[in-house]
Amino acid sequence: MLRVYGEEIASRLLLGTALYPSPAIMVEAVRASRAQIVTVSLRREAGGGGAGQDFWALIRELGVRVLPNTAGCHSVKEAVTTAQMAREVFGTPWIKLEVINDAETLQPDVFGLVEAAGILTREGFKVFPYCTEDLGVADRLLTAGCEVLMPWGAPIGSARGLNNVYGLRSLRAHFPDVPLVVDAGLGVPSHAAAAMELGYDAVLLNTAVAKAGDPAAMASAFALAVEAGRTAFEADPIEARDMAAPSTPVLGKAFLE
């Protein structure tokens, strides 16, 4: 059971709602994923021609928890303002905080992120910061009031998987009691399983499902991978070694002359 900000969530897979070929396919994918938290963009809700209202109605019908995001924000002021508007529109203090520094990699602006997180937590927001795996940044985000961290696996939409396994493992070891969610860069279910095997509490993804040939089938595959990875972690897997270790005992082995 995933526990964030005092609430228990059964599914450890969080899913984005952008980029799908159609709203109907998005609904199918969310249902197939069994996700109970989905991210939504304020820009999508504010779309013209009633599109935003129609989209919001679909989300409500799914019965999932909404995690609005500040995607596309490149400054503290823009991110904070977007979060404030999202709280009004979606009626939740939860916010996935993104403050982007680089337009090519969509790497977080960690300085702006910490500043914005502090402002929002003081205003009563429950902040889910999209961050790097840097230990110092993580510590400052926690000091700012965040109770969960969402380090990237790789650049958003890159499908590269876990670029820095050492860094992610170190983050897990340094903050054993903090909910950690790998966010962004996962391309195939094995990437999600690998994150869960490191001891991460959940994964968040969008592009890998939305852009798949069959989004619903891919969503189901990711759900299975997350479950398998978590079960493997809890089963305490053996450590890797350089030399072979025979699985068959040699005691009682027959010797021929």
Task: Residue 231: give its domain's CATH number.
Answer: 3.20.20.70
Task: Write out pLDDT tens, residues 163-189.
Answer: 999 999 999 999 999 999 999 999 999
With respect to residue 91, please indicate whether it lies within any of the assigned structural domains: yes
Question: What pLDDT score was predicted for residue 251?
Answer: 64
Residue 249: band (very low, low, confident or very high) from pLDDT cuts 50, 70, 90? confident
In sequence order, the β-bridge partners of residue 206 are none
Question: What pLDDT score was predicted for residue 57?
Answer: 85
With respect to residue 242, please indicate whether it lies within any of the assigned structural domains: no
Question: What pLDDT score was predicted for residue 253?
Answer: 64
Is residue 69 marked as binding? Answer: no
Question: How many residues are given for the chain?
Answer: 257
Query: What are the C-alpha distances in Å from 209 to residues 20, 133, 147, 214?
Result: 8, 24, 27, 8
With respect to residue 224, please indicate whether it lies within any of the assigned structural domains: yes
Is residue 207 marked as binding? Answer: yes
Domain extent for 47 = 2-235
Question: What pLDDT score was predicted for residue 8?
Answer: 95
Question: What pLDDT score was predicted for residue 52?
Answer: 63
* DSSP E strand boundaries for the chain: 2-4, 7-9, 13-16, 37-41, 65-69, 94-97, 126-131, 150-151, 181-183, 202-205
- Segment (H or E) for 210: helix 207-210
The number of folded domains in the chain is 1
Which of 10-14, 23-27, 47-51, 136-140 has the least mean pLDDT? 47-51
Average pLDDT over residues 214-227: 98
With respect to residue 141, please indicate whether it lies within any of the assigned structural domains: yes
With respect to residue 155, please indicate whether it lies within any of the assigned structural domains: yes
**Three-class SS state of 3:** strand
With respect to residue 25, please indicate whether it lies within any of the assigned structural domains: yes
Q: Does position 254 have pLDDT exceeding 80, yes or no?
A: no
With respect to residue 198, please indicate whether it lies within any of the assigned structural domains: yes
Task: Write out pLDDT tens, residues 91-143.
Answer: 999 999 999 998 899 999 999 999 999 999 999 999 999 999 999 999 999 99
- pTM of model > 0.85: yes
The residue from 96, 126, 211, 253 that is catalytic is 96
With respect to residue 243, please indicate whether it lies within any of the assigned structural domains: no
Is residue 185 marked as binding? Answer: yes
Catalytic-residue membership of 96: yes
Higher per-residue confidence, 116 vs 50: 116
